[in-house]
Structure 1
Amino acid sequence: RPPEGQGPVPALVYCHAHGNRYTMGRDELVVGRPSLQGAYARDLVASGIAALCIEMPCFGARRHPGESERAKAHLWRGETLFGQMLAEQMAGVGYLAGHRAVQAEKIGALGFSMGSTLAWWLAALDERIRAASALCSFADLETLVELGAHDGHGIYMSVPGLLPIARTGEIAGLAAPRPLQICVGLQDWSTPEAAFSIGRRDLVAAYGGTNGLSFHIDPDAAHEETPAMRQAVLDFLRRELA
């Protein structure tokens, strides 16, 4: 968090990534990972924004039981591991909203990869999220399946019966009219251009236009944060939260 004496301050829930690195969880906020342009903690604090990272089940100190074991148990019970993850992120929002050092009306969400998916879902489900930035995971799931590109995602993300009910852009569009930033690289396995384009189309339709939406699209980037993407994210967060 920013130094003492600067509160109350804006804050965000930082949703960590997956990357099959189960030993890493909340530490990503302060140490980063190879796919990122360094850790976000320093940049956020320098921007006057506090951050909280909830360690997700299957990662870090919570890596046992593992993802497959947890996901199967949830599915057999008619639940989902992804639902547990989102519930815990929402608990994090509640913690921030009640913290004396945080401006409850200025809480955001930020994440890369798995964290991206969690961030835009969180914005869709929790109206306390004022703005969200999602990096490198935003694509129409039905199109991913048609392209055979869906198996790169972990089983944590499996939600039975989801596709007949709603598409990616429609779900993310529940955040409207609150600000939402989507950052993608078109060489990213998780955001093939065809799947991203449909997701973007549905998202714009849900927002009734582009007001409130911000897109950063790099035609040459893979599953990685680029320097330009980092700058775009910080500019967005400073504008919408700080």
Structure 2
Amino acid sequence: MQDGLPPFHPLLRDELRFPLAWGTSPIRDFGAWRRAARATVEEHLLAAPDHGTPYDPEFGGERSEADGYTRELVHVSLTRYGRVSGALLTPHGTGPFPAVLLLHDHGSRFDIGKEKCVRPWYGGEPRLASARQWAGQCFGGRFVGDELARRGYVVLALDALGWGERGPVTYEQQQALASNLYLLGSSPAGLMAREDVRAAAFLAGLERVDRRRVAALGFSMGGYRAWQTAALSDDIAAAASVCWMTGLREALVPGNNILRGQSAYWMLHPGLSRHLDFPDVASIAAPRPMLFFHGARDTLASSEGVRAAYGKMRAVWRSQRAEERLLTKVWPEAGHVFDVPMQDEVFAWFDAVL
């Protein structure tokens, strides 16, 4: 064993062929390929779909007015297993408005979830202090959700299992949580994916929202969630992912964060890599508009892995004569952050594609 990896680890990595990837798959009709690839992903989520549970939303909790928008807490049933708390921001004016499903990151910080994206106006000073610290560390001091609402977007941010009011778990407890869910025939990543898809449908169905103009946005694990939701949901018209895209082969090197367990469980669908790579899954969303940003100084994904993934996705969008709808960019001076210049470019892109 070296770094917790068996000596045959490189052989297993080299055997990855991703036979269902577009261009490799024997399916030549793109619509048929999308359906087959999506079905394969859903099969490997382990968590069963939940189409029948009513959302039964409760609006208006802790309602508050802000600069150009209204803030309220909403409680909703994304699955039959319990209620989820979310922050819902609505611009002043006459709708329906475009909307953004804002998906929070991992960051090994569990006391806040939705508050990583939306400035909390509830819960007291300790919660606000945590949120401000996180915004300063990752987002240039800005709350992304509040800025989007000021710019005319309805914003929904929800706590994922383990974060905020649905936790907090500790870093070490993630493995036990994952093990228990696997033993019960489910998985943390699968549950998160199912909930994100349901959240997209809930947001698109609000009367205040123009269901043709709903986007998903996230940073780090939230970026993974954004492109995954776009791949699995037809309610998402566009998605922007910041600091989460790579080729799997390039990520499977000693020391990479994805091999350390714990945080990896939220992005691990057992067996899916026998069929599809990360960019293959994201490509199920083609030819819809998609944006991917990466910081050149981001140590969580290698430049080789990012280049491989971006190239693979560009080939898919190009095959559908939609290459202009895919924006990929590496920011030379950026690390693992979603800073203000990045945000401003994403917001302008949303304005253009929505």
Which bin holds the TM-score, normalised by the shorter protein? over 0.9
Deviation at residue 70 of structure 1 after TM alignment: 2.2
**Counterparts of 1:146-161 in structure 2 under 5 Å?**
146=253, 148-149=255-256, 150-151=258-259, 153-161=263-271
Q: Structure 1 residue 162 and structure 2 residue 272: aligned? A: yes
Are residues 1:61 and 2:165 paired?
yes
Q: Which amino acid aligns with 1:27?
A: E
C-alpha RMSD of the superposition:
1.7
TM-superposed CA distance for 1:56, in Å, is 0.2
Cα distance between partner residues in 1 of 2:185 and 2:277? 21
**TM-score normalised over the length of structure 2:** 0.65
For 1:203, the equivalent position in structure 2 comes to: 313
Gaps of at least 5 residues in structure 1 are none
TM-superposed deviation, 1:2: 3.7
8 Å Cα contact 1:17-1:111 kept in structure 2: yes
CA contact (8 A) 2:111 2:168 kept: no
Q: Distance in 2 between matches of 1:77 and 1:201?
A: 38
**Deviations 1:177-222 (CA, angstroms, capped at 9, x unpaired):** 1000001112112221011011111111221262210123112311
| Secondary structure of 1:239's aligned partner | helix
Give the counterpart of 1:122 among 229, 248, 266: 229
Within the candidate set 211, 215, 218, 1:104 is matched to 211
Deviates more, 1:149-158 or 1:123-132: 149-158
| Counterpart in the other structure of 2:287 | 177
**Distance (Å, rounded) in 1 between the aligned partners of 2:149 and 2:240:** 17
Corresponding letter in the other structure for 1:36: F
Q: Is the 8 A contact 1:140 1:195 kept in 2?
A: yes
1:23 is matched with 111
Unaligned 5+ residue runs, structure 2?
1-88, 120-130
Measure how far apart 1:27 and its partner are: 1.0
Write out per-residue CA displacement over residues 219-240 of structure 1, whole angstroms, 9 at most, x where no aligned residue. Answer: 2311112332112111111112
For the 8 Å contact 1:134–1:181, the answer to whether it is kept is yes
Which residue of the partner structure matches residue 94 of structure 1?
201
Please state whether the residue corresponding to 1:166 is helix, strand or coil.
coil
Given residue 87 of structure 1, which amino acid in structure 2 is its aligned partner? R
1:35 equivalent in alignment to 2:145? no
User: How far apart in 2 are the matches of 1:11 and 1:118?
Assistant: 16
Query: Separation in 1 of the partners of 2:251 and 2:277?
Result: 11
Greater relative contact order: 1 or 2 (C-alpha under 8 angstroms, separation 6 or more)?
1
In structure 2, what is the Cα distance between the partners aligned to 1:226 and 1:98?
31
Q: CA deviation at 1:64?
A: 5.0
C-alpha separation in 2, matches of 1:168 and 1:178: 17
Equivalent residues, number: 241
Q: Which moved more, 1:68-77 or 1:160-169?
A: 68-77
Secondary structure, aligned partner of 2:292:
strand
Structure 2 residue aligned with 1:76: 183
The percent identity for this pair of structures is 27
Tell me the amino acid that sits aligned with residue 116 of structure 1: G
Q: Which one-letter code corresponds to 1:53 in the other structure?
A: A
* Amino acid in structure 1 at the alignment position of 2:201: G
Distance 1:157 1:62 in 2: 18
1:228 aligns with 2:341: yes
- Relative distance call for 1:147 and 1:199 in structure 2 (3 A) is farther
The corresponding residue for 2:80 is none
State the distance in 1 between where 2:94 and 2:234 align. Answer: 26
Q: 1:4 to 1:232 in 2, by over 3 A?
A: closer
Q: Give the AA of the match of 2:248.
A: L
* Counterpart-to-counterpart distance in 2, 1:217 and 1:147: 24
Q: CA deviation at 1:6?
A: 2.4
Report deviation, 1:79.
2.5
